Amino acid sequence: MDEATSPARKGNLTGSARKLKDNAADWHNLILKWERLSDEGSTIATKIVNFRLSKESVKDPEVIMEGNSLSGAPAEKSAYESNPELEEECIKLQNVVERMAHILSKMEKMVSAERGICKLEAFQYGEKGRPTPLFQTWSTQQFVEVSSKLYEVYKQELALKRTILREVAHTANPDLCMVYLSCWLHQPYIQDNTKILLESLLMETGHKAV
Protein backbone atom coordinates (compact mmCIF):
# COMPACT_ATOMS: atom_id res chain seq x y z
CA MET A 1 0.00 0.00 0.00
CA ASP A 2 2.60 2.49 1.04
CA GLU A 3 4.63 1.54 -1.97
CA ALA A 4 1.73 2.51 -4.13
CA THR A 5 1.01 5.90 -2.68
CA SER A 6 4.40 6.96 -1.46
CA PRO A 7 6.68 7.01 -4.49
CA ALA A 8 5.61 10.44 -5.54
CA ARG A 9 6.44 11.75 -2.14
CA LYS A 10 9.60 9.76 -1.70
CA GLY A 11 11.63 11.81 -4.13
CA ASN A 12 14.13 9.32 -5.42
CA LEU A 13 12.34 6.70 -7.32
CA THR A 14 13.89 3.67 -8.80
CA GLY A 15 13.29 1.27 -11.59
CA SER A 16 10.06 1.39 -13.53
CA ALA A 17 8.58 4.25 -11.60
CA ARG A 18 11.64 6.40 -12.24
CA LYS A 19 11.55 5.57 -15.87
CA LEU A 20 7.85 6.31 -16.27
CA LYS A 21 8.10 9.59 -14.49
CA ASP A 22 10.99 10.69 -16.65
CA ASN A 23 9.07 9.69 -19.71
CA ALA A 24 6.12 11.79 -18.64
CA ALA A 25 8.37 14.79 -18.27
CA ASP A 26 9.85 14.06 -21.66
CA TRP A 27 6.36 13.92 -23.20
CA HIS A 28 5.67 17.32 -21.85
CA ASN A 29 8.91 18.79 -23.13
CA LEU A 30 8.67 17.14 -26.51
CA ILE A 31 5.16 18.38 -27.04
CA LEU A 32 6.21 21.88 -26.08
CA LYS A 33 9.01 21.69 -28.58
CA TRP A 34 6.62 20.37 -31.17
CA GLU A 35 4.31 23.33 -30.63
CA ARG A 36 7.18 25.73 -31.05
CA LEU A 37 8.21 24.06 -34.25
CA SER A 38 4.67 24.03 -35.48
CA ASP A 39 4.35 27.75 -34.90
CA GLU A 40 7.61 28.34 -36.66
CA GLY A 41 6.48 26.19 -39.54
CA SER A 42 3.17 27.91 -39.85
CA THR A 43 4.85 31.28 -40.33
CA ILE A 44 6.98 29.79 -43.06
CA ALA A 45 4.03 28.07 -44.67
CA THR A 46 2.07 31.30 -44.63
CA LYS A 47 4.94 33.02 -46.36
CA ILE A 48 5.06 30.32 -48.98
CA VAL A 49 1.34 30.47 -49.61
CA ASN A 50 1.32 34.24 -49.76
CA PHE A 51 4.17 34.11 -52.17
CA ARG A 52 2.42 31.62 -54.36
CA LEU A 53 -0.86 33.49 -54.27
CA SER A 54 0.62 36.90 -54.95
CA LYS A 55 2.55 35.40 -57.81
CA GLU A 56 -0.64 33.87 -59.15
CA SER A 57 -2.36 37.17 -59.11
CA VAL A 58 0.57 38.88 -60.72
CA LYS A 59 0.95 36.18 -63.27
CA ASP A 60 -2.58 36.38 -64.57
CA PRO A 61 -2.39 39.83 -66.13
CA GLU A 62 1.01 38.97 -67.52
CA VAL A 63 -0.42 36.07 -69.40
CA ILE A 64 -3.13 38.18 -70.82
CA MET A 65 -0.75 40.91 -71.88
CA GLU A 66 1.87 38.72 -73.42
CA GLY A 67 -0.58 36.11 -74.57
CA ASN A 68 0.75 35.67 -78.07
CA SER A 69 4.18 37.12 -77.77
CA LEU A 70 7.14 34.72 -77.90
CA SER A 71 8.50 35.76 -74.56
CA GLY A 72 5.30 34.60 -72.82
CA ALA A 73 6.26 31.00 -72.19
CA PRO A 74 9.79 31.50 -70.82
CA ALA A 75 8.56 34.28 -68.54
CA GLU A 76 6.01 32.00 -67.03
CA LYS A 77 8.48 29.24 -66.63
CA SER A 78 10.93 31.45 -64.88
CA ALA A 79 8.18 32.54 -62.53
CA TYR A 80 7.70 28.95 -61.60
CA GLU A 81 11.22 27.67 -61.28
CA SER A 82 13.94 30.12 -60.63
CA ASN A 83 12.62 31.43 -57.40
CA PRO A 84 15.30 31.37 -54.78
CA GLU A 85 13.16 32.97 -52.15
CA LEU A 86 10.44 30.37 -52.45
CA GLU A 87 12.97 27.59 -52.49
CA GLU A 88 14.63 28.95 -49.42
CA GLU A 89 11.37 29.00 -47.53
CA CYS A 90 10.61 25.50 -48.63
CA ILE A 91 13.92 24.33 -47.34
CA LYS A 92 13.25 26.02 -44.04
CA LEU A 93 9.93 24.31 -43.81
CA GLN A 94 11.56 21.02 -44.63
CA ASN A 95 13.97 21.58 -41.76
CA VAL A 96 11.12 22.15 -39.41
CA VAL A 97 9.46 18.96 -40.52
CA GLU A 98 12.70 17.04 -40.09
CA ARG A 99 13.03 18.28 -36.57
CA MET A 100 9.47 17.28 -35.90
CA ALA A 101 10.26 13.85 -37.26
CA HIS A 102 13.15 13.70 -34.86
CA ILE A 103 10.79 14.49 -31.98
CA LEU A 104 8.47 11.81 -33.19
CA SER A 105 11.25 9.25 -33.22
CA LYS A 106 11.99 10.12 -29.62
CA MET A 107 8.34 9.63 -28.82
CA GLU A 108 8.43 6.27 -30.52
CA LYS A 109 11.37 5.25 -28.42
CA MET A 110 9.54 6.20 -25.27
CA VAL A 111 6.54 4.14 -26.26
CA SER A 112 8.70 1.09 -26.93
CA ALA A 113 10.50 1.58 -23.63
CA GLU A 114 7.22 1.67 -21.78
CA ARG A 115 6.16 -1.47 -23.58
CA GLY A 116 9.31 -3.03 -22.29
CA ILE A 117 8.51 -2.03 -18.72
CA CYS A 118 5.09 -3.54 -19.15
CA LYS A 119 6.58 -6.79 -20.38
CA LEU A 120 8.97 -6.78 -17.51
CA GLU A 121 6.13 -6.46 -15.05
CA ALA A 122 4.25 -9.23 -16.74
CA PHE A 123 7.33 -11.32 -16.27
CA GLN A 124 7.68 -10.29 -12.62
CA TYR A 125 4.09 -10.42 -11.49
CA GLY A 126 2.43 -12.68 -14.06
CA GLU A 127 -0.36 -11.91 -16.49
CA LYS A 128 -2.26 -9.60 -14.15
CA GLY A 129 0.64 -7.24 -13.76
CA ARG A 130 1.66 -5.34 -10.65
CA PRO A 131 -0.84 -5.78 -7.78
CA THR A 132 -0.68 -2.14 -6.69
CA PRO A 133 -0.27 0.82 -9.04
CA LEU A 134 3.13 2.47 -9.26
CA PHE A 135 1.77 5.98 -8.72
CA GLN A 136 -1.78 6.89 -7.91
CA THR A 137 -4.20 4.70 -9.77
CA TRP A 138 -2.85 3.82 -13.19
CA SER A 139 -1.60 0.41 -14.04
CA THR A 140 1.52 0.22 -16.09
CA GLN A 141 -0.54 -0.97 -19.00
CA GLN A 142 -2.42 2.32 -18.94
CA PHE A 143 0.83 4.25 -19.26
CA VAL A 144 1.57 2.30 -22.36
CA GLU A 145 -1.87 2.97 -23.74
CA VAL A 146 -1.66 6.70 -23.12
CA SER A 147 1.78 6.94 -24.59
CA SER A 148 0.90 5.04 -27.67
CA LYS A 149 -2.22 7.13 -28.16
CA LEU A 150 -0.16 10.29 -27.95
CA TYR A 151 2.36 8.80 -30.27
CA GLU A 152 -0.33 7.88 -32.79
CA VAL A 153 -1.71 11.40 -32.75
CA TYR A 154 1.68 12.97 -33.41
CA LYS A 155 2.53 10.42 -36.00
CA GLN A 156 -0.62 11.23 -37.87
CA GLU A 157 0.07 14.90 -37.48
CA LEU A 158 3.58 14.52 -38.83
CA ALA A 159 2.27 12.63 -41.81
CA LEU A 160 -0.12 15.47 -42.44
CA LYS A 161 2.64 17.99 -42.17
CA ARG A 162 4.82 16.06 -44.54
CA THR A 163 2.01 16.05 -47.04
CA ILE A 164 1.56 19.74 -46.62
CA LEU A 165 5.26 20.31 -47.09
CA ARG A 166 5.18 18.31 -50.28
CA GLU A 167 2.13 20.02 -51.72
CA VAL A 168 1.99 23.54 -50.45
CA ALA A 169 4.39 25.05 -52.89
CA HIS A 170 2.76 23.40 -55.85
CA THR A 171 -0.85 24.32 -55.34
CA ALA A 172 -2.47 27.06 -57.33
CA ASN A 173 -5.89 26.64 -55.81
CA PRO A 174 -6.16 29.33 -53.14
CA ASP A 175 -8.80 27.44 -51.23
CA LEU A 176 -6.65 24.39 -50.98
CA CYS A 177 -3.70 26.53 -49.93
CA MET A 178 -5.86 27.94 -47.20
CA VAL A 179 -6.84 24.46 -46.09
CA TYR A 180 -3.18 23.45 -45.97
CA LEU A 181 -2.38 26.44 -43.87
CA SER A 182 -5.19 25.92 -41.46
CA CYS A 183 -4.29 22.26 -41.21
CA TRP A 184 -0.79 23.20 -40.27
CA LEU A 185 -1.89 25.85 -37.88
CA HIS A 186 -4.68 24.07 -36.12
CA GLN A 187 -3.22 20.54 -36.12
CA PRO A 188 -6.58 18.86 -36.46
CA TYR A 189 -5.41 15.53 -35.04
CA ILE A 190 -4.33 17.12 -31.79
CA GLN A 191 -7.71 17.45 -30.21
CA ASP A 192 -8.68 18.40 -26.73
CA ASN A 193 -8.48 14.86 -25.48
CA THR A 194 -4.81 14.75 -26.46
CA LYS A 195 -4.15 17.58 -24.08
CA ILE A 196 -6.21 15.90 -21.41
CA LEU A 197 -4.21 12.72 -21.85
CA LEU A 198 -0.99 14.62 -21.37
CA GLU A 199 -2.34 16.50 -18.38
CA SER A 200 -3.55 13.36 -16.69
CA LEU A 201 -0.22 11.70 -17.38
CA LEU A 202 1.55 14.56 -15.69
CA MET A 203 -0.81 14.46 -12.77
CA GLU A 204 -0.53 10.72 -12.34
CA THR A 205 3.22 10.90 -12.25
CA GLY A 206 3.11 13.79 -9.79
CA HIS A 207 4.57 16.48 -12.03
CA LYS A 208 1.48 18.48 -11.46
CA ALA A 209 -0.59 18.70 -8.34
CA VAL A 210 -3.90 16.99 -8.52
**CB nearer to other proteins: pick between 135 and 154:** 154
Nearer to other proteins, 53 or 122 (CB): 53
CA distance 16 to 129: 13
- The CB-side HSE value for 190 (13 A sphere, CA atoms) comes to 21
The distance of closest approach from Cβ of residue 179 to other proteins in the complex, given in angstroms and rounded to an integer, is 5
Q: How far is the CB of 151 from other proteins (least distance, A)?
A: 16
Toward other proteins, which CB reaches closer, 47 or 106?
A: 47
Min dist. Cβ of residue 128 to other proteins (A): 34
SS3 for 83? coil
Angle between helices 140-167 and 84-125 (to 10 degrees): 160
Q: Is 138 exposed, middle or buried (0-12, 13-18, 19+ CB in 10 A)?
A: middle
By beta-carbon proximity to other proteins, the closer residue of 78 and 191 is 191
Shortest reach from residue 131's CB to other proteins, in Å: 39
Q: Nearest distance from residue 47's CB to other proteins, in Å? A: 15
d(CA 33, CA 35): 5
Q: What is the DSSP string of 143-198?
A: HHHHHHHHHHHHHHHHHHHHHHHHHGGG---HHHHHHHHHHHHH-TTS-HHHHHHH
Closest to other proteins by CB, 156 vs 200, is 156
Residues that bind other proteins (CB under 8 A): 156, 159-160, 163, 166-167, 173-176, 178-183, 186-189, 191
